[in-house]
A and B are shown apart, each in its own frame.
Chain A
């Protein structure tokens, strides 16, 4: 990996800024976070991704100081933060509801934390002004939160949580309340601001597109545990389990058994025939595996392709999404496989339609062999 790519997690000696060490959090009988260990490095934009109830928000709230771990330890810059109360932690949070103070103006909202810090009163106005410029809200400084739009409120919340220049900014579903267009714009703004300030950002989201767009690394959580931590492309292309493969994007999962395997190539027998694939490591003959392949890596043709894996079937359904179409193809052996084709041509000139007999094919390197 070249030196200018930001990847502190690849450097063995790098000391993480935040460490969760065997952290468990129980609410009564419910285990929200289950013996979790996680390192987050300085300047990272770290995303916690998972379905609701997976423990991601609890993890963040423990870092903010609103919950304390039942077991385990959290360190920030090498120091255990358990004895530090929420109001003394160099960590700020942007709330999902924004939690703006309704009785204060935009400027007073941003100044709120500064007035309670050791910043001299003479410097506060300047800092507030700086934050207002950063989020382009200077004309709205004197307004109350209910006199501005939802998108503007979101930016006030961001400016307020960044004003004290925290070591870590926690973002709890920060864009969930915005409509899709605004959300996409704001994602890029967030990335710009994070890059400019160099603050470590930790975002909690259930929106995988959001996590993939903004984050340097993504942790996929389920049942209070982390299933995988990796860069967005690695999470997508090299998921380590069928849970992650299924959770991120769309995937075809085929259950089968290894019939022969070397470290470079293996054959998997499944209901639809034999698949040739590249395993991550050499697998024993007879091992139960799942072969995962993304729909966009499968091509669709009228005749049998000369090389690669191929399955015959007929078109069962077509989901037209504008830019792409997903074809649901039923194989001759009765399985349904999804294939995605970019709609490079106008719809009227589509090559395949319902009930058409087709061949699906993918290369040996298109998919991934999962044992979990």
Chain B
């Protein structure tokens, strides 16, 4: 094991400070009693109380939640199907192109994704609102789901599916009663990832939204332009909390499933 040297400790501290000090300051100031954001005037939770009275914020939160739930569910279904085709489909014409196109949106600038979707919606004459944001979010987050699910499928013993066919399953039955239960942790963590991505997206949402639907990030952004209020700090803190819980849960689900399996395998080895 490497020694924990002074140099290592310093770089670790600086690295984490760079990442998390701004967020920490935001969280601390959300408990500030003063209306002035930069002046500390004692601990208070009153901004959280006021937040709950602010109908505009609550509406935006509801829109965000709705968009997140629907878009991540669509993304999970599509992403899982895409992963299945890529991993299980064998060689087919255009496989490389297809897999490239699945992963491309991961590196595509959000502005371009947003703009192109906006142009598409205008060309198609679709009224922009919750529906279009849902479509846009499902489009870009399904790539993430597909990456997560296909990495699980690659490590999956294909003869398990063959055994299911051999024992009388139709392909759909085999997927439902064998494949899906086994890859479920990956599908769930894919869903959580998609939900989190949808929750904190600003760029794509602001391109594809209409006047009727304002998501929380859009609301916050426009509020900040009029000046940062402690209320925004409180709201951001809540968002950070939700996103953190989502990400941690996603990784815990995967990790616990793996750990559980490993522990029981060790147990079985001892019993033998």
Contact = CB atoms under 8 A, between A and B. Distances in A.
A binds B: yes
Interface of A: 64-66, 85-88, 91-93, 95-97, 99-103, 112-113, 116-117, 144, 146-152, 160-161, 164
Contacts of B167: 87, 92, 112-113, 116, 160, 164
A216 B265 CA distance: 37
Interface string B245-272: 0000000000000000100110111011
A66 B157 CA distance: 15
B159 A99 contact: yes
5 contacts: A66-B162, A93-B163, A96-B159, A116-B173, A152-B272
Nearest to B181: A103
A264 B71 CA distance: 86
B272 A87 contact: no
B172 to A, nearest CB: 11
A96 B261 CA distance: 21
Contact of B160 (A64, A86, A101, A117): A101
Nearest to B178: A101
B267 A147 contact: yes
Interface string B155-179: 0010110111111111001000110
Interface of B: 157, 159-160, 162-170, 173, 177-178, 181-182, 261, 264-265, 267-269, 271-272
Contact of B268 (A101, A146, A164): A146
A117 B269 CA distance: 34
A87 B268 contact: no
Contacts of A151: 272
A95 B162 contact: yes
B264 A149 contact: no
A148 B268 CA distance: 5
B163 A149 contact: no
B162 A116 contact: no
Contacts of A65: 165-166
Contact of A64 (B166, B170, B173): B166
A107 B163 CA distance: 16
A147 B163 CA distance: 20
B179 to A, nearest CB: 10
B163 A103 contact: no
Contact of B271 (A64, A93, A103, A149): A149
**Which A-B residue pairs are the 4 nearest by beta carbons?**
A149-B272, A113-B167, A116-B168, A99-B163
A102 B178 CA distance: 9
Contacts of A160: 163, 167
A65 B168 CA distance: 12
B157 A99 contact: yes
A150 B159 CA distance: 17
Contacts of A161: 166
Given A96-B159, A160-B163, 15 more contacts: A87-B168, A91-B166, A95-B163, A97-B157, A99-B159, A100-B160, A102-B160, A102-B261, A144-B264, A146-B264, A146-B265, A147-B264, A149-B269, A149-B272, A152-B272
Contacts of A148: 268, 271
A179 to B, nearest CB: 10
A87 B164 CA distance: 8
